[in-house]
Structure 1
Amino acid sequence: MFNIRPALVIAGTYAWAVLTAGGPTNYSGYLDGSADTQAALSLPLTLGLPPSALFCSWPPTSPRLAISTLALIPFAAAFKIIVGQLIGFSGIPLYLDSVATVLIGVLAGPAAGAMTGAVTNLAWGLTINPTTIPFAAGAAAIGFLAGCSRRAGLMSKLWTALLAGLGTGLIAGFLGAPIAAFVFGGGQGVGTGSVVAALQAAGQSLLGATTLQSLLSDPLDKTVAFLLVWIIVRGLPNRVRIALGA
Structure 2
Amino acid sequence: CGAGAAGHLYGPSRSISATPARLLPAAAEPVAAEYSDTEDPAEAMAALPDLGPTGLKNKPRVVVLGSGRAACRFLKDVDTSVYDVVCVSPRNHMVFTPLLASTYVGTLEFRSVVEPVSRIQPALATRLGSYFFLANCTGIDTRKHEVYCTVAAGDEQLPTNPYRFRVAYDKLVIASGAEPLTFNIKGVQENAIFLREVNEAQQIRRKLLTNLMLLAPHHCL
Give the structure-2-normalised TM-score: 0.26
Structure with the bigger percentage of strand:
2
Larger Rg computed on CA atoms: 2
**TM-score between the two structures when normalised by the length of structure 1:** 0.24
